[in-house]
Amino acid sequence: MTDDTPRDFIRQIIHDDLESGKHDQIVTRFPPEPNGYLHVGHVMSICLNFGVTEETGGQTYLRFDDTNPGKEDVEYVQAIEEDVRWLGFDWGQRLTHASDYFERIYAAAEQLVERGLAYVDSLSAEEIREYRGTLTEPGKNSPYRERSVEENLDLLRRMRAGEFADGEQVLRAKIDMASPNINLRDPALYRVRHVAHQATGDQWCIYPMYDFAHTMSDAFEGITHSLCTLEFEDHRPLYNWFLDQLQPQHRPRQIEFSRLNLAYTLTSKRKLNALVAENIVSGWNDPRMPTIAGMRRRGYPASALRDFVTRAGVTKKDKLIEMGMLENSVRESLGDTAMRRMAVLRPLKVILSNYPEGQVEMMTAMNHPNDPDMGTRDVPFTRELWIEQDDFMEEAPRKFFRLKPGGEVRLRSAYIIQCDEVIKDEQGNVVELHCSYDPDTRSGTGSSDRKVKGTIHWVSAAQAVDAEVRLYDRLFTAVNPNKADDFRTVLNPDSLVTANAKLEPALAELAPGTPVQFERLGYFCVDTQDDAASARVFNRIVTLRDSWAKLERQALESENQAGTSPSRK
RNA sequence: UGGGGCGUAGCCAAGCGGUAAGGCAUCGGGUUUUGAUCCCGUGUACCGCAGGUUCGAAUCCUGCCGCCCCAGCCA
């Protein structure tokens, strides 16, 4: 950073706490529950928690909030670790679990019981719900609320000892059943659950609830700032109640910020899960998924994700950010670093009638037009080439700068060609173009400084490498699929389109995951999962900005408007 | 209808009583063997609305409106 002006309200608070001497060092934590994969929303939290300590020389814990066995799995803890590491953050020795503190959390619970601040309730779950009241009506006390300390302690110990079945007893904090804040109406602290835990096995049959476990874990680790999302704002009074009553050595402060929502994407874990379970996508790392694993496989650089959330900012306002913002970050981080290559997605055969049969010229092409240091590679040029179907139009509009009958175009890094003849099949489809090349216009030779308006990409047919290229688009057609009654009704049927492409030979050696730009098309990478020597598979990371496509779209729109809306201006 | 939050341009977002930064998008233009990149330029923002305090308010006060969250023995 160029100056020490905090970028957002949380960094401002942290800055002030450091300045005032309240803290010498900042300690934060990223506390995912290992019950699913991390997504874009989490990137924000990860970058914030690790970011503030990176900036101030503090420490951040990666803590698994594993207090609900049965829903959690080690598969997820490994994936989460990998995702955080991939994003570029290091927790050092600070990898912990809420379950590491089960004994101490339990001791805190006994303490509350001993001080008459918690009791064992024998009401059923349904009864507790009834007693809780509603948003507008106060709740009423449980008949078990006034049990003696001795009885409560005995009951709690017997809960731990396994004398009760699931749901039979629950430990509750004794706060205020009439509180306007429902979280304070005697919240549950411990429930009985005879389920093996992924880390502690069958050592426990009672498990602490989130609010209690989280507050205590934060205190035990000496977290100075416990950063979480807005929906926990109502829990802060409870968080502070625990701290007030138990007076741990460290007193963390909870601060809430708004979630990051991306337009046209889903971030509900349950729904993401359904996409996978119902095979709507190929898995948690399907390149269309908003998961970190999905975006990584798609080819988004970690730096782009970090840049994106930094630009989005940390505030308390609900956000629904446009996709264009993320794509901009992706393009920006790829633009200067990705090598340029040529590939034809929808091939159209071109035959250069005046080019010697059997001749192969090696054309020198720059790996990056703006950076000579990135070097060059040789691209074979022959009589038979593939060009993009979209780059030819029989009846082209005025501003179409590509190939048309009788027209000229430059083949990138090669010659200028002219279209002499259009070959069609019985149905009238264009199947082949007969063109002639101008030997005087070979790229870089300077023998001719003739200019043509358009330049198109191409691949020599004989040396072309075949590949499956997967073209991805947004998974949903609704801006906020989270809000749809059924997300299945707003799925984008074209979120994945496959093309049988022709690649220049240099692409055969590309390592999986390495991003390259297919000139004029976008950024692509070899898929890390499905690619094989026998069947190359590429993913489209993101398209290039395309002002021609924009022009076309605008033309279409104005045409539609003129044709279909006679009344409304 | 109880409680907790939030409202600055299409989307983000600075601003912290002295007269509305920036990014993305948009729209123009220039360079270009990627219609890319790059470079210039482009916004009458009634600062949710209405009052009030003040020489002066996006910033302070009051009232209203809109949106989000909360009634798991989930996190």
Interface predicted TM-score of the whole assembly (ipTM), two decimals: 0.96
Q: What is the CATH number of the domain that holds A380?
A: 2.40.240.10
Segments forming the whole domain that contains residue A550: 269-339+469-562
Averaged pLDDT, A104-131 = 98
| Angle, helices A236-246/A210-221, rounded to nearest 10 degrees | 60
A356 vs A348: CA distance, rounded Å: 20
* Domain presence at residue A382: yes
Does any domain span residue A139? Answer: yes
Q: Are residues A237 and A280 in the same domain?
A: no
Q: What does the pLDDT read at residue A6?
A: 78
Per-residue model confidence (pLDDT) at position A450: 83
**What residues does A433 pair with on adjacent strands?**
A350, A422
Q: How many helices (H) and strands (E) does chain A have?
A: 13, 27
Please tell me which residue, A397 or A354, carries the higher pLDDT value: A354
User: Residue type for A275, please?
Assistant: L
| A92 domain-assigned | yes
Q: Is A12 among the domain residues?
A: no
Domain boundary residue among A206, A228, A257? A257
Residue A162 reports pLDDT greater than 50: yes
Q: Which nucleotide is nearest to A448 (CA to C1')?
A: B33
The arithmetic mean of pLDDT across residues A232-243, rounded, is 98
Contact between A404 and A387 (Cβ < 8 Å)? no
Distance A251 CA to B16 C1' (A): 27
- Asked whether residue A566 carries a pLDDT value surpassing 90, the answer given is no
In the prediction, which pLDDT does A565 show?
A: 40
* Nucleotide minimizing C1' to CA distance for residue A127: B73
Residue A321 CA, nucleotide B45 C1', distance (Å): 19
Catalytic residue chosen out of the listed positions A104, A145, A269, A319: A269
CATH number of the domain within which A70 lies: 3.40.50.620
Q: How wide is the angle at C-alpha A400 spanned by C-alphas A397 and A404, nearest 5°? A: 85
Reported as a pLDDT band with limits 50, 70 and 90, residue A447 is: low
* pLDDT exceeds 80 at position A448: no
Residue at shortest CA–C1' distance from B32? A369
Q: What is the dihedral of CA A294, A548, A477, A517, to 10 degrees?
A: -10
Q: How far is the CA of A260 from the C1' of B23 (A)?
A: 17
**Whole-model pTM over 0.80:** yes
- The residue annotated as part of the active site, out of A140, A193, A259, A349, is A259
From the alpha carbon of A520, which nucleotide's C1' atom is closest?
B34
Per-residue pLDDT averaged across A214-221, rounded? 98
Domain co-membership, A293 together with A404: no
Average pLDDT for A412-438: 96
In chain A, % of residues over pLDDT 90:
91
CA A563 – CA A526 distance, rounded (Å): 44
Mean pLDDT of chain A: 95
Q: Are residues A162 and A58 in the same domain?
A: yes
Same domain for A156 and A191, yes or no, is yes
- Cβ(A459)–Cβ(A386) below 8 Å: yes
Query: What is the spatial distance, in angstroms and rounded to an integer, between the CA atom of A312 and the C1' atom of B44?
Result: 28
A347 plus A330 within the same structural domain: no
A457, A488, A520: which is the final residue of a domain?
A457
List, for residues A386-406, the tens digit of each pLDDT value: 999 999 999 988 889 999 999
Which among A404, A435, A457 is the end of a domain? A457
Query: Distance from residue A312 (CA) to nucleotide B32 (C1'), in Å?
Result: 32
Total structural domains in chain A? 3
Confidence grade of residue A564 (pLDDT, cut at 50, 70, 90): very low
pLDDT of A217 reads 98
- For residues A112 and A40, membership in a common domain is answered with yes
pLDDT range class, residue A560, cuts 50, 70, 90: low
pLDDT tens-digit readout, A509-544? 999 999 999 999 999 999 999 999 889 999 999 999
Between these two residues, A565 and A278, which has the higher pLDDT value? A278
Instruction: Using a 7 Å cut-off to protein CB atoms, list the covered nucleotides of chain B.
Output: 1-8, 10-16, 22-27, 32-38, 67-75
State yes or no: pLDDT of A1 exceeds 70.
no
Task: Supply the CATH number for residue A275's domain.
Answer: 1.10.1160.10
One domain for residues A196 and A238: yes
Residue A360, pLDDT score: 97
pLDDT surpasses 80 at A265: yes
A330 is a domain residue = yes
Do A300 and A401 have their domain in common? no
Answer yes or no: do A130 and A203 share one domain.
yes
Residue A4 confidence (pLDDT): 60
- Band the pLDDT of A341: cuts 50, 70, 90: very high
Q: Residue A216: is its pLDDT beyond 60? A: yes
In a domain, A264, yes or no: no
Q: Report pLDDT digits (tens) over A174-195.
A: 999 999 999 999 999 999 999 9
Predicted confidence at residue A421, as pLDDT, reads 96
Q: Is residue A9 part of a domain?
A: no
Pair A449, A349 in one domain: yes
Residue A228 and residue A85 in one domain: yes
Give a yes or no: residue A319 inside a domain.
yes
3-state secondary structure A292-361: HHHHHHHCCCHHHHHHHHHHHCCCCCCEEECHHHHHHHHHHHHHCCCEEECEECCEEEEEECCCCCCCCE
pLDDT in tens, A82-99: 999 999 999 999 999 999
Clarify whether A269 is annotated catalytic.
Answer: yes
Q: Provide the pLDDT confidence category of residue A446 given band limits of 50, 70 and 90.
A: low
Q: What share of chain A is helix, strand, coil (3-state, %, to 5)?
A: 35, 25, 40
Same domain, yes or no: A104 and A221? yes
Q: How confident is the model at residue A3 (pLDDT cuts 50, 70, 90)?
A: low
Closest CA to A152 of A176, A186, A116: A116
Residue A568 has pLDDT above 50, yes or no: no
